[in-house]
C-alpha cells in the first residue's frame, strides 16, 4: 500500500501475509512503535467458530511470556472486525528462508539448523508447561509447528507464532498436512508429544534441504505421514552427524511413547550440535539469503 491506512488507533503500513481467515499488516502503534496487526477477513466476524479460535489465540498469547514466542500486545474489535496486535519481528518465516536457499542450491548450515530447532523446542517447553490460575496444567498443544510458523529475524532471533490452533489434547487441532504428527494424521488423540513430531519434520527439512512427507495429493501426504519410511537426514546431507540423526529420528517416532519425554529434553539433545555463536550465526545466514528484504527493512527503519 502506498500510504498508511488508519485502523482504529493503528496505522497499517503494508500487508505482509493473507491466509484463509486473516490478514497480517505491519503497522504503527499510537506511540509510533512498529508492530504487526492481524485482523479477520471481512465477513468472518459472523463465524462463531473462527472468532472463538481467534480470541483463544489472543488469550493464550497474552499468557505466553517467552523470548521465543511472539508477544500479543492488544486485542479488540473495530466495527464488525476483530483484530490483534503483535510484536513485530523484522525478518522472514523459516519457510521463506528455506525456499530461498533451496532455489540457490544451498542448505542451512547444520549447526544453525540445530540451533533453530533448540530455540523452537525451548519455546514449546514454555507453552507446554503453562498452568491456569488454579495451578493446573493447561496441557497446551500448539498443533501447527511448521516452517511457516517459525520466524527468523535479521537480528538472529527465532520466534514461534500462531497459537491459534493450540488447545488441550483432544481438541480439534488443525495443521498443515505435511507437518502433522502421525497421531494427528490418523485422527488419534494428540498430546504435547505431537508437537515434538512436527518439530522433527521441520528439523529434517532444515537438515536435508528436502520436504519429508510431501505427496502428490492431500491423501497421499497423509499416508506418507502415517506410513512412509523415514530416512535419517544424513541420507540427503552427509554433513549431519550420527548423534543429530538419532535426535531427529527419535522425535519422528510414530509411537509418541518413543519420542523424547518433553520439548526441553529434545532441545538439550539439539544443543550438543548447535552453533555456539547462536543468534550471530543465524543473523549472517538470514541477511545473506534475503538481501532484498534486509534492504527494505533498513529503509523502513530509517523512515520511521
| Alpha-carbon distance values, 67 to 25, 122, 140, 142, 184 (Å) | 22, 10, 18, 16, 28
pLDDT at 193: 95
Q: pTM of the prediction? A: 0.92
The backbone torsions φ and ψ at residue 151, rounded to the nearest 5 degrees and listed phi first, read: -95, 140
Do the Cβ atoms of 40 and 54 come closer than 8 Å? yes
CATH architecture, domain defined by 5-88: 2-Layer Sandwich (3.30)
pLDDT at 156: 96
Which positions are annotated as active-site residues?
144
pLDDT at 132: 86
CA 168 to chain centre: 18
pLDDT at 171: 47
Domain ranges for the chain, please list them.
5-88, 91-285
pLDDT at 300: 77
pLDDT at 62: 86
The CATH class of the 91-285 domain is mainly alpha
pLDDT at 273: 97
pLDDT at 165: 58
**End-to-end distance of the chain based on CA atoms, in angstroms?**
16
Q: Which residues of the chain have pLDDT under 70?
A: 1-2, 164-174, 304
Amino acid at each position: 500500500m502506498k500510504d498508511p491506512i488508519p485502523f482504529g488507533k493503528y496505522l497499517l503500513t503494508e500487508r505482509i501475509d493473507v491466509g484463509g481467515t486473516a490478514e497480517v499488516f505491519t503497522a504503527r502503534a499510537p506511540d509510533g512503535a512498529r508492530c504487526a496487526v492481524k485482523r479477520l477477513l471481512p465477513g468472518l466476524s459472523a463465524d462463531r467458530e473462527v472468532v472463538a479460535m481467534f480470541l483463544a489465540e489472543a488469550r493464550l498469547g497474552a499468557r505466553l511470556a517467552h523470548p521465543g514466542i511472539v508477544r500479543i500486545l492488544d486485542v479488540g474489535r473495530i466495527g464488525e472486525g476483530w483484530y490483534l496486535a503483535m510484536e513485530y519481528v523484522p525478518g522472514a518465516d523459516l519457510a521463506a528462508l528455506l525456499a530461498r536457499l533451496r532455489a540457490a542450491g544451498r542448505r542451512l548450515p547444520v549447526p544453525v539448523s540445530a540451533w533453530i530447532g533448540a530455540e523452537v523446542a525451548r519455546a514449546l517447553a514454555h507453552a507446554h508447561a503453562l498452568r491456569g490460575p488454579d495451578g493446573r496444567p493447561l496441557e497446551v498443544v500448539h498443533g501447527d509447528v511448521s516452517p511457516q510458523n517459525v520466524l527468523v529475524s535479521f537480528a538472529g532471533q527465532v520466534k514461534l507464532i500462531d497459537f491459534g490452533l493450540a488447545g488441550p489434547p483432544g481438541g480439534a487441532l488443525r495443521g498443515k498436512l505435511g507437518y502433522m504428527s502421525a497421531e494427528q494424521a490418523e485422527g488419534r488423540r494428540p498430546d504435547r508429544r505431537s508437537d515434538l513430531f512436527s518439530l522433527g519434520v521441520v528439523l529434517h527439512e532444515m537438515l536435508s534441504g528436502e520436504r519429508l512427507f510431501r505427496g502428490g495429493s492431500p491423501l497421499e501426504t497423509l499416508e506418507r505421514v502415517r506410513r512412509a519410511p523415514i530416512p535419517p537426514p544424513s541420507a540427503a546431507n552427509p554433513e549431519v552427524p550420527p548423534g543429530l540423526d538419532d535426535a531427529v529420528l527419535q522425535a519422528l517416532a510414530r509411537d509418541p511413547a518413543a519420542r523424547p519425554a518433553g520439548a526441553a529434553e529434545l532441545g538439550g539433545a539439539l544443543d550438543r550440535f548447535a552453533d555456539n555463536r547462536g543468534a550471530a550465526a543465524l543473523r549472517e545466514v538470514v541477511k545473506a539469503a534475503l538481501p532484498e528484504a534486509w534492504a527494505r527493512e533498513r529503509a523502513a527503519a530509517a523512515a520511521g
